[in-house]
Amino acid sequence: MSQKEIRLRIAPSPTGSLHLGTVRTAFYNYLFVKKNKGKFILRIEDTDQQRNKDEYTKEILEGFKWLKISFDEGPYFQSERFDLYKKFTNKLLSEGKAYHCFCTQEELDELRKIQRAAKVPEKYDNRHRNLTEEQKKSFIEQGRKSVIRFKLPDNVDIKWNDEIRGSVCVNTNDLGGDPVIMRADSVPLYNFAVVVDDGDMRISHVIRGDDHLHNTAKQIPLFEALGFSVPIFGHVPLIFTHDREKLSKRKHGDIANIDKYQREGFLPDALANYLVHMSWTRPDKPEAEIFKLDEIIDLFELGRISKSSAVYDLPKLYWFDNHYIKELSVEETYNLSKHFLEKDLNLSLYSKEQLFQMIGAIQSGLNKLDEISGLIKFFFDDKFDLNTGENKNTLSTENARRILEKILSSLEIINFSDPHDCKKTIDNIGKELGLKGKDLYWPIRVALSGSNKGPDLGLIISLLGKEKVKSRIEKAIAVLV
């Protein structure tokens, strides 16, 4: 046998924006492709005209771009390949491997009702599998439409060696009866379109979510019936919520969709690292959790992907993101968060250098980039509340008043151009008044920034400048009264 080309695909459906689980399997696919010098293909599974939306397709494409996942082929759209599905349906039909089923929805519902009452598994009973010509004619004369079903072999164990789970076996009798592969309006159904495409595109490895395990058992006979070679499968564990159920677009849209992470300013490298590391550790040094995708390509093995589902944990994601944010230069951080800053703040108030100083002072505390505005907002306006409990407590002491008044009268001797000088002046004032530490700094902090925590005080004073320091301290003193 000649060496088969390594070809993998990711096949999202535009019935929603890009799902976190899809992204994770995409990363695993990507890693495997790169390691084996294969081709990566993007296919959009848009056969469900009811639920598809163009904007989702756009979001999916943009999502992959943002994540720096690129494809060698595609995107292919299933909606543009209906002729192909039709052709293969006819092939199966002519070979007697598929048949017309004239059942109405009502008949199917009735069947299910009976099965449920009898407490037997609900499945199609293949009743139209061997219709006579007369019966068919009669149905057609009644004006009934027909779908096309695939003849699933009876009572056969479908076995495959899963790259992640090991050997898996499902009996065809537990697959729900002969599956519909094409509707009366010639729209192909998922399990059929997938097999036609995977076969036609010569996909060598199908790495997909665990929830497809039974679909795989359904699809293998289809590959064989169609005359395609069966790809190698690998089923990656699902992502769970803390409630231990699978992360779904509908129920957990707030965390399941990738655009959230894009919008809130997570770094793609952090997301990739977190998602991959969730179920995979490097073999050379498992304790090394921080890695970029490109660093682990050679180390990657599907077999090291954990079999059990992993619970999504935001704090851990934050830790990864914080790590990568700290690796950024101030300028990179500025560029990446510029749209947040421009939206929330009047940037013209400060020079770029001053902005860089602000960012440099708070960068190491960021879990995600959109937190940045909130942390430096006080530089831009004094709309913070001095009357809240903690602020009020800090300001309403006799010492606070002495400090603030002293600063007001010392405005002329402060060298605002240098943070260190600013700090030194404050310390000198402290010495004069016999105050230091919190007693000295907190009232000033609160008066200038509305909080007793934040960046270096000297930096705050320096960047704020004489006028703002003056007005804010006056305002604070007024509150004391």
Partner RNA sequence: GGCCCCAUCGUCUAGCGGCCUAGGACGUCGGGCUUUCAUCCCGAAAAUCACCGGUUCGAUUCCGGUUGGGGUCACCA
Nearest-CA neighbor of 208 among 413, 55, 12?
A: 12
- Kindly tell me which of 39 and 149 has the beta carbon lying closer to RNA: 149
Helices (H), 227-297: 253-256, 258-263, 268-279, 293-296
Nearest distance from C-beta of residue 214 to RNA, angstroms = 4
Nearest distance from C-beta of residue 437 to RNA, angstroms = 5
- Kindly tell me which of 7 and 277 has the beta carbon lying closer to RNA: 277
CB 236 within 8 A of CB 210: yes
Nearest distance from C-beta of residue 299 to RNA, angstroms = 12
- Kindly tell me which of 38 and 221 has the beta carbon lying closer to RNA: 221
Tell me the two tokens of residue 440: 């000295």
Location of structure tokens 């990711």: 10
Three-state DSSP class for residue 77? strand
- Kindly tell me which of 143 and 437 has the beta carbon lying closer to RNA: 437
- Kindly tell me which of 246 and 470 has the beta carbon lying closer to RNA: 246
- Kindly tell me which of 25 and 38 has the beta carbon lying closer to RNA: 25
- CA distance from start to end of the chain: 90
Q: Residue 100: beta bridge partners?
A: 148
Helices (H), 73-184: 82-94, 105-117, 133-141
Q: Phi first, then psi: what are they for 434, rounded to 5°?
A: 70, 35
- Whether 249 is a known active-site residue: answer yes
**Interior CA angle at 262 toward 261 and 266, to 5°?**
60
Nearest-CA neighbor of 369 among 341, 344, 337, 339?
A: 337
- Kindly tell me which of 46 and 269 has the beta carbon lying closer to RNA: 46
CB 418 within 8 A of CB 456: no
Nearest distance from C-beta of residue 448 to RNA, angstroms = 11
Interatomic CA distance for residues 343 and 128, integer angstroms: 62
User: Is residue 212 exposed (0-12), middle (13-18) or buried (19+ Cβ within 10 Å)?
Assistant: middle
Given 123, 136, 249, 316, which residue is catalytic? 249
- Kindly tell me which of 348 and 417 has the beta carbon lying closer to RNA: 417
Tell me the two tokens of residue 396: 């309403």
64-76 CB burial, b ≥16 within 10 A, e <16:
bebbebebeebbb
Residues contacting 18, CB < 8 A, separation 6+: 12, 59, 60, 63, 64, 257, 258, 259
Nearest distance from C-beta of residue 122 to RNA, angstroms = 5
Pseudo-torsion of CA 293, 299, 300, 301, nearest 10°? -170
Nearest distance from C-beta of residue 193 to RNA, angstroms = 7
Catalytic residues: 249
